Structure 1
Amino acid sequence: MSHIAILLPKDDLVLQARELAKGHYSIAEIRQIETENAVEEARTSIQNGAGILICRGLQALRIRENLNVPVVSVKLTAQGIGLLLCKAKRLTVEPRPRVALVAVCDMLCDTSCCSMLFGVDLQIFAYRTEEEYEEMNRKALASKPDVIIGGDLTMDMARQAGCASLFLDFSDDSFNDAIQNAETALMANEMNQRANAQIDALLNNTTNGYIQVNRTGRVTKSNDIMLEALECSRDALVGRPLQEVIPGLEKDVIDNVLAGGNSYSTFLHIRYQAMVAILAPIRLEDGQVDGAILSCHKVHRSIQLDPRAEDGELLQGNLTQRTFDNVHHRSAAMAKAVDQARLFSQSNAPILLAGPQGLEVSLLAQCIHNNSTNRTGPFVQLNCASLEPEDQMTALFGTGYKNKDGEVDLGVLGMAENGTLLLQEVDKLSHTVQSNIYQAVRYHRVIQRNLERPVHVNTRIIVTSEGDLYALACEGAFRMDLYYLLAGLRIDLPPLKKRPEDLEDMLQATFQRLCENLRRYHVITNGGMELLKSLDWPGNIIQINAFLERLVLTARHRSIDETAIRSLYDEMFPPLAREAGQPAAPRQSREGQRILEALERNDGNRAVTAQELGISTTTLWRKIKKLGIEI
């Protein structure tokens, strides 16, 4: 059990403290120490079990600066100052003597009425650091006092200057106050130690990993399970910002929790171990937040990734290394999409990524894969628009025949076994394939060579669509049951025009990258950058990259201004095409005219029109898109 130690510079102060400490059993040590040895003496007391130190003046200042231990200063009281001033008046014949008092700031009480009450002109010379001590003594002596009050250095300098001096001692009430404050601090410290011991016992006997951070977001404590998961020592962890310790936990999220926000939960990986993480604020009784606790619970399916195996898979194009750290964003709209992606990655249900062409759909799909429990499996992607309807079934589900190694051909669905399959432009699939995907996802039944067979495939499916799947489903161009299966975990990616912060960053980064790759040295003027930010980019990243690459290649001057940018933009994207939101539609062919007339006869109903033309609704939709028919 810790105790209180009183360390003082004078023997007479020690005798006074011993008399007043009688009956205070928490005080186990009272002794005199030299100021130059204050830190070493304090360290000895701590090693002997002292938990609280009572010191004064310069000694207290030195110990606080060098040791991490609670120090209670002996403070001057109004009664003590009054006694000192009465002694000072007896040292001079002046009727109203000038008295200078040199002391550490935290030793002083309110002295505003002392001059009037005791008939002196009192001047206070307070110092906060040891470096200021000698300077304050010089200033005090320069003020020509009749008497100067202070410590040993003050007494020495006063003797050399021929000035009357008085040692700064204390009244009994100063020591009594210090003892009472020290006992209160000792009791609080012991209660805190007990609480910490109980918390440590709880945290180290649980299956979860825990990290505690202070108000600034720096780590103050961690249990053994978390240290083992992070593969680091406690000393290497304490004091570091939480966002540096836990990959994938962003600083904005931590700051929001510490500012009084709600608890935050996410799904992340620590050293290839999938974990559910919850960051919760530590709230005091007055509502103030005094830090936060991060708890990490291991997901039941834990797969250790062999880096050598990963390298081999990457060479085959089956794995991806993209994580949410690669998704640069500052806008609130994109932050919402990324947060949803983090949460949805915890599920094995299919995910729908909806958004315009040229957005970060493929990147986000890779991030979801690498944040899921299937992250060690392959990541396979297929663009459905690149396949003819008769080829879609074979590409997705295979032939069912065995290859030379005896493995059954299950198409890309089988290639992505224990991993993730990304189907881009899923709205371009035929109704037959849509039905088979529904069966495969919901019932794990695969149709090959017109035979339905129960084949269990552990494949996470992510789909993308630029078109409105619900509208297509309502018109009969997309299966409604498949839409409902996909729409449960839907993430809407906002276009760049709704993300001005991200657009600016993307323009800057793309322009710089192109200049470096093409070995050109151009800069965009402020007016040029403002124009770029105001222009419409319906093609998003693809359009921006194409435009900026041509801009860099064709620029005639080092500085590219808004005139050059406007000229090239109007040349590449004529106003007529921009108003339509797509390239100008060509004059209709005979086939296009026939489809358009059929649509007009059937009031735009695609299902009836397809039946009249003798084709499927999916083929009709593809022809409408290909021929640029406006409905």
Structure 2
Amino acid sequence: MANITLLVPNDELFRLAHDALQEMKKRLFMMKVIETESAVSEARQAINQGTDIIIARGLQATIIKQYTDIPVVEIVMTRQGLINMIEKAKRVLGKENPNIALVMFKNMTCDMTGIGEQCHVQLKEYLVQNPELLKAAALQAVEDKADLIIGGKTVLTIADNAGIPALFMANTEDAMKNAIKEAFLLADTFENSDIPAHAVLEKGKSSGKRKEQFVNFPYKSEKMQAAVDLAEKLSKTDCPKLILEPIGNLHKAFVNAMHNHSKHSQEKLVSYECIKGQSSYDDLYGRQGRVNDSLRGTLVIDNFQYMDVRSQKKLLEILMFRNVILIAKTRNIKAYLIPELYARLSAFSIRIPSLMETSEDIPYLSNIYMQNCTERYGMYHVMTKDAEKKLQGFYWPGGRIQLESFIERLVITSDHRSLKVTDVCELYEELYGGDIGPEANAESGKIPDTDYGPRAVPDFNRGINSEEDKPFRSSSENMMESENPSMSFGIDQKEAASGNRTITVGDLEKNRLIKSLSDNMGNREKTAAELGISKTTLWRKLRKYGLL
């Protein structure tokens, strides 16, 4: 049996562990109260003495995980324990719908989704990973006029100095029991399998144990959930799998998850990337090819849209004998495939929705990116709800990568804590000036000839048109758009027909300005607000395009 050691920062947690172990009739290899400053040395000493698993909490757990390879089971506040704490706070305050701030380390609490609504309070979370940010987080809670603050000793001191009621965030016996149970479950895994002792299980934090998430990236939208659910179901079989993602890198998370949840998870994950204009036949099907290399594992073919016809025909033959995941950086995959292969794959396509299609994820992702950036750079900023709403209305053709880069720049260059609508609007205008488009060429301003097609460029005000952006559109539709792009953008028909007129990003912007002015009956103030730019910028653009 693996040896389990408990390392905790105070006597209260030690007592909780002692009582829980007596009730559960279990014993640990070692139990010790330690100082945070010596957490790493204490952990290494325990490892040298034979410890296989450590139970720890908060900052101590984070430090031990960072500087050692030993599995660490974290003591996490249970959902019911947090609800009980909030109900106690309501009794202390004696008021309806109070503003309660929770200031603590991120790894000390459970999934808090819906707790505020359930308890009828305005719950605001200030969760940090860097200890240097804890004081700043508490000061921000004070500045945000919290009615009561829940946290540790440092937080309580700041709240007391500000004259704000506070409650100490104490772990419950249930939290300790859950951690002990998880540690023994991990020990049983080591005992009954070939998994090495340095493999760490994913910790659950909702009511002591959260269902393991299939993919390792954050999202809340129903469209993304539908894609994830389909991927999870397909991963349990050896049917062919086709992932469609024109922009972004989420397909990598899908590939890893589908391989790890398949019956081939203990075998190789073999990758190959098709190159436009080059045959993939020998690389894939030769004696030393990727197909033979992935005999019992999973074969992943990236940029699948570039696979040559000969290789496609051979692929059709082997799909029934291999676990194959195909990745296409296009939505119009039908235009690239032989009919038989398209017929086989179209039933198993997983379309990863773009950020423009899942705009409800933008505030959620913005909070995550803000927290990551503030912790990385040792800064502390918060974004107002109005600013988050404004971000949700902006145009993000570059998807999550663009949004994250924007937030990072915003955090680095802002000289005040509270980031408001004006801050995000000014930076968006400075970086993109309303000129950015999904395939815009920074030097020429032209839309290059890609398989997205001009109509795949979403209107700034409408977002992506779900009917126009569906996968597997017919070749005739794409040919019509390719031959007559003026159908989409109102370009002069004679110029378009003559072939002398190139659609530029300026054309898209001018078209958008005209539409917005028309929708707002010529009111410039409303037009500027709708487009997320200042009236001065609107005037400059109107003058630029001769619309004054």
TM-score band (shorter)?
0.3 to 0.5
Using structure 1 for the length normalisation, give the TM-score. Answer: 0.36
Structure number with higher strand proportion:
1
- TM-score, scaled relative to structure 2: 0.41
Instruction: Tell me: higher relative CO, structure 1 or 2? Use CA pairs within 8 A at least 6 residues apart.
Output: 2
| Structure number with bigger Rg | 1
